[in-house]
Structure 1
Amino acid sequence: MSSITKTKTSSRQREIIEIVLGNGWDYMRGILTGGKSGEPKLPTPEVLRRMLIELGPFYVKFGQLLSTRPDLLPPKYIEALTALQANVPPVSWGEIEQSLEEEYNQPLENIFSTLNREPLAAGSMAQVHRGTLVTGEDVAIKVQRPNIERVVNQDINIIKGIADLVALSDFGNDYDVVSLAEEFTNAVLAELDFRKEATFTDKLRENLSKSKWFDPQKLIVPKIFWDYTTKKVLVMEWLDGKPILKAEIPTFEEQPENNIRSDLSTILFRAFFQQIYIDGFFHADPHPGNIFYLDDGRIALIDCGMIGRLDPRTQQLLTEMLLAVVDIDAQKCAQLTLELSENISLKTNIARLENDYNIMLRKYYNLSLSQINFSEVFYEILEVSRKNKVKLPGNMGLYAKSLANLEGVARQFNPQINLLDEIKPLTIDLLRRQLFGETPLQTVFRTVLDLKSVGLRSPRQLDVILDRLSSETLQFNLQIRELDNLRRSLDDSANRLSFSIVVGSLIVGAAIISTGATTAQLVLLSNILFAVASFLGLWLVISILRSGRLR
């Protein structure tokens, strides 16, 4: 690191310490000044939110990312961070114009026939302007704030340094804060490349352009103009409309407003249900500002920079978890939580995990399905997991946050909405897809191959188990009722088997000797072996008959 960079970082560290001290967070003061790092103590949600705003754009973005991880933070913190916005003034038009010219390396008149100098929105990483391409299309132009990449890289170094210190504590080990810091900083760096957001937007647009569950013509994702999109500039289709909670919904005599709202709510739920449970690729930030009601009556999803992904196995486990909650099955919930987890801490007490689920589910004993708030249920599942040191993958947090945002928007937009009524018609199709897939024949082939694989592996696995048993490297710690009776029964069986082997060996030996006997001594030895074998065989038969267990 150069001396200039070190000087800038030291200056930034002093600034951070001043902000932390100004907000009274003593734990962080100890960390930044080289003190001991014990169990972390978070500031209150309001103090944390205020500190992040004062620390600047990177930390605001960091807080926004944290708000998508209810698997890490309690609900009050998630709520405080959800509406977090950077208190930053918009960048002057001169700087924006210079950034555009540097990116395109040509006069802007060659690309845009008009450009609105006043920003429509200004955020921590970028601001948005409206314009018109020379080809006539109205567009929204998202331009990265100048020098933001340098500021972000500087703060990333500090964040990683703090994570290394916190990693020395038990908390740091339990939550692997170094990996978490790496995950969050990579997420911030990814948002600095607008080409990734453009790719996500295109993918979402393609997935939602076809559906059996809703009319794709009534929902839109803006088109990306790739010819004018770069790492620092994103150009997308302009959509005339307003955020869904601020829009005026028209009323028609043949279709009252409440019916229009109901239809739009159904489209929203089904679109997200498809994203989550079918496509496994979903818009992870459906807050009211990212869902628009357009002038032509359609719904639009915008700002697709934050995307969640779910693999088929996770989709199936989440469906089973939903059914386990409905059945008030604490044991199944605990089992599914462990199956979802990335790794299980040695501190995880399985019995306590199940008991915590039992306590959580009691409140739903006498509720009908229509009364259950499913997003709240999944928040509670994440809280139980966090309490029991079960680390769930980050996409679980995005899933719960997305579901909570969606349900919150839908209930504000249409208070009469019933989530169960919205998803009930889709459940049979969903279960069919999870059981048989899109192509049942392909699923059958895959099952046959899996069975073949199990058949081929089983003898080898049995051989490994027997080898470990013989070498005493495999240990069992079992507590079974009436184990003594079982042991005696096994001993009797083993003894009888041993006698049978001995008798058979004596008979075979005697037969071999008698066949080649040329002297009186060999004939005598053969007769003795036959006699001993006959005696032992008779004794074995009598013992079996006396035990009464011949059948």
Structure 2
Amino acid sequence: MLSTGLKHANRYRKIVTVLARHGFGYILNEVGLFHVLSLPKRLSTNPKDPNYRLIGERIRNAMEELGPTFIKLGQMISTRKDLFPDYIVDEMVKLQDDVPPFDYAQVEGIVEQELQVPISEAFTTFRQEPLAAASIGQVHQAELPDGTSVAVKIARPHIKETIEKDLDILHDLTRLLSQRFHWAQYYRLEEVADEFAEAIRNEADYTLELRNTEKMHENMKKFTRIEIPEVFPRYSSRKMITMSFVDGQKFSEWKDMNGSYHPKFARELADAFLHQVLIDGFFHSDPHPGNLLLTGEDRLCLLDFGQVGRLNRSMRNDFINYVIAMTKREPEEVARMVYNMADVPQSVDAEEFEEEVEFLLDKYYQRPFEEVQIGEAINDIFSASQRFNIRIYKEYTLLAKAVIIIESIISQLDPDLSIVEIAEPYGRLLARERLHPKTWSTKWLKEAKRQRDTLLVLPHSLRGALDKINDDELSFNVRMPKINIFLNKLDRISNRISFSLTLLAFSIIMVGLIVGATFGDSSSFLVQLPVIEISFIISFFMFLLLIYSILRSGRF
């Protein structure tokens, strides 16, 4: 029943107990976990209990109690407005990484183990008090031997083991729920768990964050008001990452300050983000205000590249075409672009989906699209896709989340700025690039290289086929996957017919002999013989033989 067996029994029992205490015991009891984990039946609460609280609030409280892995899961759910209802998403937004820091002695041990030198040799100074503590790691300020001020992020002790244990249990829970409940299938809990597992594993591996930060630092050099920290690979590993220290104010501290620089920052931030998405195809997928600082040099610093999104050229073109179709209010084109960005079931009603898209676009009909929150519009259509069982690729859901966050920040800095207006030049640039002769020639060259091997062997293959035709050696192999089932049914039918005919023949023989013995000449030699007895014995043995052969074939 449980793929993890009993190796995580204590943690499993704690998770189930916490969920039950917050009112989800009846669900867990339905999938048999109370019996497997030997939990008391009193925890299997009735959902109609008078103390029944809103489901979103109860989920949030349970995740806060279960710790770092589940807090991260809740934060990811808060970004999936396309998949989960508002009453859950709104509660998940409230989840915070409010965890105490771990001891400096453990910090020192991890640093020395990873760098293979005493901490005093690696760093001239190293502040014992952390600047910040989160669920996966904490940050300390230090100084390199050359005098460079740095921030050192260190993973919590045994965090990888803790995460893997929780992911094993989470995979079991989502599988059991999906097998038992339709709502678990509708919300794709198993897919969400798999997506979350990949994201949190990447975030806990600081070598990935180091490479992401290096790449973003290089990509953003052209933006004079945007700063990306420099990383130091020599002082980094899977469990720690060292980067240049940036002293600045948090977004929550400076956004309400009066200043003429706000519109300039809004424009620069929007421009940088669109460049990441539409030109580089490599973007910060979690640009929340906590990852945004205003430096003393009047520059915006983006932090924490543990979560990034990637779009290839085709995906970037599909996305910009999707946005253009929305601005033009063309439901057929919007639907077509959605199909390009998703896994679409064959059973989808295309006409009905287009009508749904048209209805959603009418929601913005009375307003210029420049005044519409593009992230809101994208998310509305993605949510409609979910209702039609159209599964949007995760790259686009990450992008939708990032667009919503960036739009929220920009609207606070400059309410009159529209991200759609800023995106127009990028759309024209991509269109010109797509239609440029060089792009076509490059595309055809790549396709030619892919087809080269096929073209080289084609003449030889054709010649071999023609030789076989000339020599009358050409044969065809026809494969019929269902033929065995058909033949088995024929065997059953023929055996049943044989059985019926044998019974009929047996009956006719017996009736004929009995009639002959009764009304025939009693002096006849045949009548004097025990013909009835002999015929009965022979027929009976034939009947038994036939029954045996049919039963032995297994096709009766």
Match of 1:63 among 74, 87, 106: 74
- The 2-side partners of 1:310 and 1:421 are apart by 21
- Match for 2:239: what amino acid? K
Distance apart, 1:267 and its partner CA: 0.7
**What residue number does 2:144 align with?**
133
- The 1-side partners of 2:220 and 2:252 are apart by 22
1:23 aligned counterpart, secondary structure? helix
Q: TM-score, normalised by structure 2?
A: 0.72
1:300 aligned counterpart, secondary structure? strand
**What residue number does 1:108 align with?**
119
Q: Once structures 1 and 2 are overlaid, which stretch shifts more, 263-272 or 15-24?
A: 15-24
Q: Is the 8 A contact 2:82 2:380 kept in 1?
A: no
- Match for 1:110: what amino acid? E
Q: Is the 8 A contact 2:374 2:420 kept in 1?
A: no
Q: Map 1:301-450 to 2 at 5 A.
A: 301-342=302-343, 344-436=344-436, 440-447=437-444
Q: Residue 190 in 1 paired to residue 190 in 2?
A: no
Change (3 A) 1:293 1:430: farther
Distance apart, 1:175 and its partner CA: 6.2
Q: When the two structures are aligned, how many residues end up with a matched partner?
A: 438
What are the Cα deviations for residues 59-99 of structure 1, in whole angstroms up to 9, with x where unaligned?
11222233333333234433433452233211121222222
Distance apart, 1:235 and its partner CA: 0.6
User: Comparing both chains, which one has the higher relative contact order based on Cα–Cα distances under 8 Å and sequence gaps of 6 or more?
Assistant: 1
Q: Is the 8 A contact 1:71 1:394 kept in 2?
A: no
Distance apart, 1:450 and its partner CA: 5.7
Match of 1:226 among 210, 233, 255: 233
- The 1-side partners of 2:136 and 2:446 are apart by 49
**What residue number does 1:262 align with?**
263
**What residue number does 2:297 align with?**
296
Q: Map 1:84-103 to 2 at 5 A.
A: 84-103=95-114
Change (3 A) 1:66 1:365: same
Unaligned runs of 5+ in 1: 211-215, 252-256, 461-470, 474-551
1:25 aligned counterpart, secondary structure? helix
**What residue number does 1:162 align with?**
173
- The 2-side partners of 1:285 and 1:231 are apart by 21
Change (3 A) 1:415 1:449: closer
Q: Map 1:465-480 to 2 at 5 A.
A: none
Q: TM-score, normalised by structure 1?
A: 0.73
**What residue number does 1:275 align with?**
276
Distance apart, 1:26 and its partner CA: 4.4
2:167 aligned counterpart, secondary structure? helix
- The 1-side partners of 2:94 and 2:234 are apart by 33
**What residue number does 1:13 align with?**
12
What are the Cα deviations for residues 293-341 of structure 1, in whole angstroms up to 9, with x where unaligned?
1111111110010001112112111111112212222222222211211
- The 2-side partners of 1:318 and 1:336 are apart by 8
- The 2-side partners of 1:146 and 1:406 are apart by 33
Unaligned runs of 5+ in 2: 36-46, 48-52, 459-477, 481-556
Change (3 A) 1:426 1:81: same
- The 1-side partners of 2:11 and 2:280 are apart by 43
**What residue number does 1:207 align with?**
219
- The 1-side partners of 2:110 and 2:448 are apart by 59
Distance apart, 1:423 and its partner CA: 3.2
2:80 aligned counterpart, secondary structure? coil
Q: Is the 8 A contact 1:70 1:400 kept in 2?
A: no
- The 1-side partners of 2:255 and 2:23 are apart by 45
Give RMSD over aligned pairs.
3.1
Change (3 A) 1:32 1:266: same
Q: Is the 8 A contact 1:308 1:395 kept in 2?
A: yes
Q: Is the 8 A contact 1:309 1:395 kept in 2?
A: yes
Q: How high is the sequence identity, in percent, across the aligned residues?
A: 27
1:16 aligned counterpart, secondary structure? helix
Distance apart, 1:133 and its partner CA: 1.1
- The 2-side partners of 1:249 and 1:140 are apart by 27
2:360 aligned counterpart, secondary structure? helix
- The 2-side partners of 1:115 and 1:31 are apart by 53
2:97 aligned counterpart, secondary structure? coil
Match of 2:84 among 73, 77, 92: 73
